[in-house]
Structure 1
Amino acid sequence: MHTQPLRSRFAALTGALAATALLAACGAMKQPTPSPMFSQDSLPDAIKVPAGNRVAMETVGMGDITYECRDKANAPGQTEWVFVGPKAVLNDRSGKQVGTYYGPPATWESADGSKLTATQLAVAPSGAGNLPYQLVKANPAMGGGAMAGVTFIQRVALKGGVAPASPCAAANKGERQSVKYQADYIFWKAA
């Protein structure tokens, strides 16, 4: 008569121990850590986005900047490499293409078709051989997708993109050269 209740208690105890072990194992499993939110703490003050805005999208732009050898403004007889425009793909942090960046005028276009241009507010040095940091104020977006409501765009984490090292002289006036570059474009919206 006592064997049945003993078996029931043993089964209940075994079940409880198994459940406890399972919960402990689940708790010990490494939880995916969310990617850290972009921080502008280490950026120069001139290119920091004002309070009241939040990061809406982070992209990595990879492509080319085109320069043309032209007469130097207000310097007769002198020439210089002049920025013509960018052509780059915009990828999300996982490497998936989410848009393009091209110009002139400088235009950020989402894969959903929405796009915008912007007005430069500030630049700051980002290191030798690299384009400067940049802060632009977004113009109203065309289309109702990812670019709708963007207030500011920051260009950070720069690699390359400066004018060619090759000579620009009267003999090669009009010549165009493309330079590889990479930059993170951080899109902000009102908080």
Structure 2
Amino acid sequence: MSSESRVGCAVRGGVVAIGMASLVVSCASINTTVPPELRPADAGRTVAVMHAIGVQIYVCKRAPDGRLLWTFKAPEATLRDEATRVVIKHYAGPTWEAPDGSKVTGKVLQQAANTRDPNSIPLLLLQATSTGGAGLFRSVRYVQRLNTQGGLALPPTCTQEGQEDRMPYQADYVFIE
């Protein structure tokens, strides 16, 4: 059972220095249904809310039973805040890297099906396994992936071992202390 919740942002609405330039970090928010299993019990404030556009990369691998199946390899996406001023890189790990050099890598704690779109990748709760840099992501402990659209490898079987498939997806990511 899930309840409506407004994921707000108590972001450090100040300025993040990047070399000689500076980048204003704005605060975004989303209205979404967050399943209870994706809400960390000891969550602090929301650091940032970003919208991702990218691909989920799959590679064709042989399963133990001999069938060829699409296997998830890595995400490749760009995340932006509501004002599209902050651009975050999202790649294998899974890792998110900010322009200030800070980054967070996580591991999946929980997942939930996207009940609005069963042909989309699942919603996730990830726990930070490492953070680096003194910027935006320095205190992130959790990441939620919400409002997913697309990204699944369809159909599940493939025909040529080693073949890659890049499935477009979108999602909202919430970074939590």
1:164-179 to 2 correspondence within 5 Å?
A: 164-165=154-155, 167-169=157-159, 172-179=160-167
Q: TM-score, normalised by structure 2?
A: 0.77
1:144 alignment counterpart: 134
Q: TM-score, normalised by structure 1?
A: 0.72
| Preserved CA contact (<8 Å) 1:70 1:81 | yes
| Preserved CA contact (<8 Å) 1:140 1:149 | no
Task: Tell me the distance in 2 between the aligned counterparts of 1:56 and 1:39.
Answer: 16
Query: Where do 4+ consecutive residues of structure 1 move more than 6 Å?
Result: none
**Structure that is richer in helix per residue:** 1
Which among 113, 117, 120 is matched to residue 125 of structure 1? Answer: 113
- Which consecutive unaligned segments of at least 5 residues does structure 2 have? 1-26
Larger Rg: 1
The one-letter code matched in structure 2 to 1:83 is F
CA distance 1:89–1:166, shift in 2 (3 Å): same
Deviation at 1:162, TM superposition (A): 0.3
- Which consecutive unaligned segments of at least 5 residues does structure 1 have? 1-34
RMSD: 1.9
> Match of 1:141, SS?
strand
**Structure that is richer in strand per residue:** 2
| Preserved CA contact (<8 Å) 2:146 2:173 | yes
Task: Tell me the distance in 1 between the aligned counterparts of 2:155 and 2:111.
Answer: 22
Task: Tell me the distance in 2 between the aligned counterparts of 1:187 and 1:36.
Answer: 11
1:184 alignment counterpart: 172
Report Cα offsets for 1:98-142 as digits up to 9, x if no partner.
211011x21100111111211210000013111000000112311
1:65 alignment counterpart: 56
Amino-acid identity (%): 29
| Preserved CA contact (<8 Å) 1:118 1:139 | yes
Residue 90 of structure 2 corresponds to residue 101 of structure 1: yes
Task: Tell me the distance in 2 between the aligned counterparts of 1:86 and 1:36.
Answer: 23
The one-letter code matched in structure 1 to 2:83 is S
Task: Tell me the distance in 2 between the aligned counterparts of 1:116 and 1:78.
Answer: 35
